Amino acid sequence: MSGASPAPGVSVPHPAPTWLPDAVASAGARLVPPGPGTDALLWFGGELDELRAALASAPGCRWVQLPSAGVDSYVDGGLLKAPGVAWTSAKGAFSRPVAEHALALTLATLRHLPERARARSWGEPTGTSLFGARVLVLGAGGIARTFLDLLAPFGTRNVVVRRRAEPVPGAERTVTTEHLHDELSRADVVVVAAALTTQTRALVGAAELSVMKPGAALVNIARGGLVDTDALVAALTSGRLGGAALDVTDPEPLPDGHPLWDLPTALVTPHTADTREMIEPLLRARIEKNLRRFVAGQTLVGVVDPVAGY
C-alpha cells in the first residue's frame, strides 16, 4: 500500500504575514521555501524580477496568488504567460472600500467641495444633487457592482459599459464599448471602474471628454492610465466638465506642481480608496479561501484571464 500524497507545498518569497502559517496549516497545506517542492506561491508584493526568480526555482508551481486587484504590471512584465500556472488576483476582494470612496468622490464633486475647501469667501450657492442623476459606470467588476448597490438609495438611473452587453444588477441598461460616446453624452456622472489593459488604455481621451455632457463629473477609482491626463486638464480648464475626482492618476504619484493640483474643479486623493489597513483583512480572507480551495481541488476565486488582462 503506497503512502498518502504529501500536503501541497506553499511558498512565500518574502517574510510571511504572522497569520499565514496558521492559515496554510488549517487549509491542509505546508509552508516550504521556493523550489522544487512548491505547488503554490503567495506573492505579497516586491520587484517583479524577484517573482520571476521564485517561479523559475519552482517548476512544479500550479498557482500564484497576487496581492492586488489590478494585474497590469504583471501582464506588462510577461509573467502571466508562465505555462501551467493559474493566477489569481484580489479582484472583487477590495470592492467595498473602493466603492465607498467612489461614492464619496462623486458627492464631493457634485457638491463642489474641492472649490469650497479652497475658498476664503462666502461665494455663490451652487451644487448638483445625486438623487435621480444619470450615472454611467465603465466596467462591471466587483467595484462597479458594489458602487451600483451604494447608489440604490439615490434613485439614480444607471448604465454600465462593458465588453459584453450582459445585464448587471442595479443598472437599467448594459451596453458595449462601441456605444460609449452615445452614453457619455447623456450622463451626469461618469465613474471609471474598468481594468487597465492594452485595449482600455486612455479609454477616456480627448474625443470622449469632448462628447461628455457639459458640466458632467468624472470619477476615476480604477487605474490612472484609463484617462488621458492632458486631455482631462484641458477639459477642466475650458470649463466644459463640471469637475473631476481622481484617486488614481497618470503619472502616479502625481508630481508636485502638476496643473491638476491647482484646478479648482479637480479633486485628487493619493490612491487611498483602499489603504493597507482596509485591505489587509480582506486580502487575508481571500487567501484563506483560495488555500482551502486549492488543497481541495476546487475552483479558485479571482482567477485572472491572461488574454483579457484581468
Residue 177 phi, psi (nearest 5): -65, -20
Residue 271: active-site member: yes
Residue type at position 63: W
For residues 10 and 24, the answer to whether their CB atoms sit within 8 Å is: yes
Tell me which DSSP letter residue 3 carries.
Answer: P
Provide the CA 275 distance to its chain's centre, in angstroms: 13
Kindly name the residue from 101, 112, 223, 286 that is annotated as catalytic. 223
Q: Which of 37, 42, 39 is nearest to 61 (CA)?
A: 39
252 given a catalytic annotation: yes
Cβ 204 vs Cβ 179: under 8 Å: no
> Contact at 8 Å (CB) between 91 and 69?
yes
To the nearest 10°, report the CA torsion of 214, 125, 103, 230: 40
Spot the catalytic one: 271, 284, 292, 293.
Answer: 271
Spatial CB neighbours of 50, under 8 Å, sequence gap ≥ 6 = 13, 14
Annotation says 223 is catalytic: yes
Which of 252, 258, 288, 293 is flagged as catalytic? Answer: 252
Integer angstrom CA distances of residue 168 from 181, 182, 309: 20, 19, 21
Q: Which residues are catalytic?
A: 223, 252, 271
